[in-house]
Amino acid sequence: MKIYQTHKAPNPRRVRVFLAEKGIEMDYVEVDIAAGENLSPAMRAKNPTTKIPFLELDDGTCLGETLAICRYFEELHPENPLMGRTPLEKAQVEMWHRRIEFHFMLPIGMCFQHTTGYFKDRMTPVEEWGKESGKNAIAYFDELNEHLKESTYLVGDYFSIADIVLLCAIDFARVVQIRPSDEHSHLLAWYERVSARPSYSA
């Protein structure tokens, strides 16, 4: 099996860090999304949405969506669970993962797409919405900082896929000059903890 990805993009990194934490080796095929390599008929046949990353199994079955790929490996290899260990913890991981996606990563992505025009050949950027999204993402730092005041990771003392999505989103946010500030000391301490893990460089 292999994963089609663009190394610098944030979503493939979520999968790489996830697999590194679980100790799973993977083959990667690099796809140049800026040049539109993901839009070719051959690639669309494998991956109709054209989004990366996607996983191709040895029988040709293709699976898109970052979280679906992670779910597949979590189910196949339950060791080193990153999606929770009990029903309640699994739900809490899902809750935090979605909060990070909807309140931070998605706004950062919108800010990037709508203010830089990076994908303007394949979408209609609305600059005002890009700027508003950037503001919303910045505002969320306060909530995160408050939560991490009394929590080692997003879900108590359990490192999970929710921490991975936040890590990747914070690093990606630099492309639109969005960073936590010194007043977000608990968030910055969390960042120090997660970025010190060997998976950081995956």
State whether residue 160 is helix, strand or coil.
coil
CB of 2 to its own copies, least distance (A): 16
CA distance 5 to 36: 13
Residues 85-124: x/- map of binding to its own copies (CB under 8 A)? Answer: -xxx-xxx-xx--xx---x--------------------x
Interactions with its own copies, residue window 131-150 (CB under 8 A): 132, 143
- Segment near its own copies (CB under 8 A); pick from 2-10, 29-37, 72-80, 176-184: 72-80
CB of 76 to its own copies, least distance (A): 5
Nearer to its own copies, 124 or 201 (CB): 124
Nearer to its own copies, 61 or 185 (CB): 61
CA neighbor of 33 nearest in space, from 19, 47, 14, 17: 47
CB of 72 to its own copies, least distance (A): 4
H/E stretch holding 116 reads helix 106-116
Total number of residues that touch its own copies (CB under 8 A)? 30
Q: In the numeric block, which tokens belong to residue 196? A: 């010190």
CA distance 99 to 93: 10
CA distance 166 to 169: 5
Among 40, 49, 181, 195, binds its own copies (CB under 8 A): 49
30, β-bridge pairs: 5
Q: In the numeric block, which tokens belong to residue 97? A: 């993962």
Does 78 sit behind a cis peptide bond, omega within 30 degrees of 0 on the bond before it? no
Interactions with its own copies, residue window 3-22 (CB under 8 A): none
Establish if 72 lies at the interface with its own copies (CB under 8 A): yes
CA distance 111 to 173: 9
Binding site for its own copies (CB under 8 A): 48-49, 61, 63-65, 67-69, 71-72, 75-76, 86-88, 90-92, 94-95, 98-99, 103, 124, 126, 128-129, 132, 143
